[in-house]
Amino acid sequence: MRNLLSSVPVVDFHRVHLKYENGPNVLKNIQFSLERGSFHFVTGDSGAGKTSLLSLMYLDQRPTAGRIHLFGRNLSEIKRKQLPNLRRRIGVVFQDFRLISSLNTFDNVALPLRIEGMKENEIKKRVTELLAWVGLEKCIHTFPDSLSGGEKQRIAIARAVINAPDLLLADEPTGNVDDAMANRILHLFLELNKMGTTLVIATHNHALIRQFKKPQLHLSNGVLECLPSPFKAPLEKSSTAPEFVGEYHDFEI
Ligand SMILES: Nc1ncnc2c1ncn2[C@@H]1O[C@H](COP(=O)(O)OP(=O)(O)OP(=O)(O)O)[C@@H](O)[C@H]1O
Ligand SMILES: [Mg+2]
């Protein structure tokens, strides 16, 4: 029998708006929910609001209006001191990497496990294995400032997935790597997804979107459209985006 808790969406946006100070409305009336274990791409032109949407899910921004639930918790009711616990369940690959420049590759990736209090010999095993998978075994003792953009991006990815988070938010995670590595990274994400991680991946990479055939949260002029498969026509635009759940099992277009 299905666990009742698993029916609570991992992410639930209700009529969410975001406006930066002195800026335009970046996100308008955004409404969607993501089931546990679902996999979505976030697409849209540069400046469409993809990073802004992810930053709301990571609690980096507060919405100007509307309601967001994460793992069933209403974010507007969460106290500041409770944020770290919630954030620990979320892996984030930032578009600008945000590595800690005073830590070498190994220590950057080990950080989430050390925060969890894992034993050092287990950390060593896991981190070494993952760094080998993303082709960084030779950079294990190197500091971020001496690494290329693609190398930094792979560290950011390894750090985000090392503790198999419940929710993975990846912002252009393949923007700095070649096609073969992009493919490898997506397969790593797929493995996580099979183990139950909910994936939200912002990307401009149409080859990956075509290949992996996952539904899209498509942003255009601040409005969200839900595209169930890569190259079907967008749903009719409206100021209220249609609500959908997970993998569109019951969703007809
Ligand atoms: N901190 C901020 N303050 C003011 N405006 C911002 C801020 N961050 C983003 N914006 C504006 O919000 C809009 C959406 O930006 P966002 O970074 O979310 O777009 P994006 O879809 O991620 O673009 P890209 O594909 O280039 O990464 C842009 O017009 C941007 O200039
Ligand atoms: Mg962005």
What would the pLDDT profile of 6-45 be if each residue is shown by its tens digit? 689 999 999 999 999 988 899 999 999 999 999 999 999 9
Please give the tally of structural domains in the chain. Answer: 1
- Nearest CA to 41 out of 252, 250, 190, 221 is that of 190
Quote the DSSP letter at residue 150.
Answer: H
- Nearest CA to 222 out of 9, 33, 10, 20 is that of 20
What sections of the chain are H helices per DSSP? 50-57, 83-87, 105-116, 120-133, 149-161, 179-194, 206-212
Would you state the pLDDT for residue 227? 85
Would you state the pLDDT for residue 237? 41
Q: How far, in Å, is the centroid of ligand 2 from the Cα of 91?
A: 17
pTM to 2 decimal places: 0.88
Residue 18 lies in a domain: no
What is the mean pLDDT of the segment spanning 61-65? 95
Residue 194 lies in a domain: no
Q: Is 221 in the pocket of ligand 1 (CB under 6 A)?
A: no
Q: Transcribe 116-133 into DSSP letters.
A: HT--HHHHHHHHHHHHHH
What would the pLDDT profile of 100-110 be if each residue is shown by its tens digit? 999 999 999 99
Residue 218 lies in a domain: no
Would you state the pLDDT for residue 238? 38
Residue whose CA is at the smallest distance from ligand 1 atom 13 = 47
How much of the chain exceeds pLDDT 90, in percent?
80
CB 16 within 8 A of CB 65: yes
What would the pLDDT profile of 149-199 be if each residue is shown by its tens digit? 999 999 999 999 999 999 999 999 999 999 999 999 999 999 999 999 999
Residue 32 lies in a domain: no
Domain membership of residue 110 as a residue range: 100-164
Nearest ligand, measured from the Cα of 43: 1
Tokens standing for residue 153: 């991006």
Residue 157 lies in a domain: yes
Neighbours of ion ligand 2 (CB under 5 A): 50-51, 95
Residue whose CA is at the smallest distance from ligand 1 atom 26 = 46
Residue 12 lies in a domain: no
